[in-house]
C-alpha cells in the first residue's frame, strides 16, 4: 500500500511532458495533480512537489512559470523535471530548480527527459519510448525512496546564470478556410492567445508556439506556414538528430 503522497504540477500542451510525468509517478507514489495549462489559484502546499515542464528554446514557458509561482512551499522537498525535443535543455533545468527554491521548496532530485519535438515531429519521433519510460519509472522509485528517507540533500544541475535570452517566436499558427469557429482552440490555449470571439486569429505577443491549437482543432484548420516549418526542420536536423538520453540528478 502506497503511503507517500506527492503533488504533481505539469505543463503539457501536447501530451509528451505528461507521459513522462505519469511514468515517473508510476506505482511508487500517490499523486495529486495540478494542470499548469489552466489558471492556478494561490495555493499553500503541504506535500512534496514534482514540477514537470517542457523546454522551449532552452528556457521554461513564461506562462507555466507564472502559474508555478502561485504554489507556495513550506520548506518541503521538490523534484524538478524538464522535457525537451532532443536539441538541448540549456538553462531550463536550473531555471526550474531556482523557481522552486524561490517558492519555498528544497529541490532534492531533478531530471531531463526527451519527448517528440512538438513542432518538427520527425525529431525524436515516438519519444518518450519504452526505454525512456522505464528510466522515468526507475527515477520515480529512487525519488520515492529519497523522500521516504527524509533525505533533504539538494542536487546540483547544469545551466548558466544569467539565463539565455527568451527566444522570440518566428511565427504564429495560421487558420485556414476550414475553420468552423467552434472556439475549441481558444478554450484550450494555455496562454490565452486566441480570442474567444475571433478564434481564427492569434495574439502574437502571447503565443508561445506550444502547438496545442493545431493538435486540438477538430477540422485541422490550424497549421504553421509550410516554409517556416521546413526552415525549422532543416535547422533542427543539423543539431538535434543524434538521440539524447535522459539525465538524472538525485
3-state helix, strand, coil in the chain (%, to 5): 30, 20, 50
Question: In this structure, are residues 42 and 189 in contact, taking their beta carbons and an 8 Å threshold?
Answer: no
Q: How much is the mean pLDDT over the chain?
A: 94
Residue 128 is predicted with a pLDDT of 97
Q: Of 181, 177, 175, 205, which is closest to residue 193 (Cα–Cα)? A: 205
Peptide bond into 215 cis (omega under 30): no
What is the sign, positive or negative, of the torsion defined by CA atoms of 196, 197, 198, 204? negative
The CATH code that applies to domain 174-223 is 3.30.70.20
96 phi/psi in degrees, rounded to 5: -65, -45
Please, what is the Cα angle at 1 between 46 and 150, to 5 degrees? 40
Decide if pLDDT at 76 tops 70.
yes
Mean pLDDT of 57-79: 97
Question: In this structure, are residues 198 and 2 in contact, taking their beta carbons and an 8 Å threshold?
Answer: no
Residue that the C-alpha cell 509561482 belongs to: 69
CB burial of residue 68 (10 Å; 0-12, 13-18, 19+) = buried
Decide if pLDDT at 250 tops 90.
yes
Chain mean position to CA 205? 20
- Please state the domain extents for the chain: 5-162+244-249, 174-223
Mean pLDDT of 72-94: 97
What's 5-162+244-249's CATH class? alpha beta
Global pTM? 0.96
String of DSSP letters for 198-232: -TT---TTT-----HHHHH-TT--EE--HHHHHHH
Question: In this structure, are residues 54 and 82 in contact, taking their beta carbons and an 8 Å threshold?
Answer: yes
Per DSSP bridges, beta strands 30-35 and 5-10 are: parallel
Residue 1 is predicted with a pLDDT of 44
Amino acid at each position: 500500500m502506497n503511503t507517500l503522497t506527492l503533488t504533481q504540477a505539469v505543463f503539457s500542451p501536447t501530451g509528451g511532458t505528461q507521459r513522462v510525468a505519469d511514468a515517473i509517478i508510476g506505482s511508487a507514489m500517490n499523486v495529486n495533480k495540478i494542470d499548469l495549462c489552466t489558471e492556478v489559484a494561490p495555493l499553500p502546499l503541504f506535500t512534496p512537489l514534482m514540477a514537470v515542464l517542457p523546454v522551449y528554446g532552452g528556457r521554461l514557458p513564461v506562462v507555466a512559470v507564472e502559474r508555478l509561482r502561485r504554489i507556495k512551499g513550506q520548506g518541503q522537498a521538490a523534484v524538478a523535471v524538464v522535457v525537451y525535443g532532443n536539441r538541448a535543455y540549456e538553462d531550463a533545468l536550473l531555471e526550474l530548480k531556482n523557481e522552486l527554491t524561490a517558492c519555498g521548496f528544497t529541490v532534492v532530485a531533478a531530471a531531463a527527459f526527451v519527448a517528440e519535438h512538438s513542432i518538427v515531429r520527425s525529431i525524436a519521433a515516438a519519444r518518450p519510448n519504452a526505454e525512456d519510460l522505464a528510466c522515468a519509472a526507475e527515477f520515480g522509485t529512487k525519488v520515492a525512496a529519497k523522500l521516504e528517507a527524509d533525505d533533504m540533500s539538494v542536487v546540483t544541475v547544469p545551466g548558466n546564470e544569467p539565463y539565455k535570452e527568451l527566444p522570440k517566436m518566428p511565427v504564429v499558427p495560421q487558420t485556414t478556410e476550414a475553420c468552423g469557429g467552434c472556439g475549441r482552440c481558444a478554450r484550450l490555449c494555455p496562454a490565452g492567445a486566441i480570442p474567444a470571439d475571433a478564434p481564427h486569429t492569434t495574439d502574437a505577443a502571447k503565443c508561445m508556439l506550444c502547438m496545442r491549437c493545431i493538435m486540438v482543432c477538430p477540422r485541422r484548420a490550424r497549421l504553421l506556414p509550410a516554409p517556416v516549418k521546413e526552415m525549422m526542420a532543416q535547422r533542427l536536423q543539423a543539431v538535434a538528430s543524434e538521440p539524447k538520453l535522459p539525465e538524472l540528478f538525485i
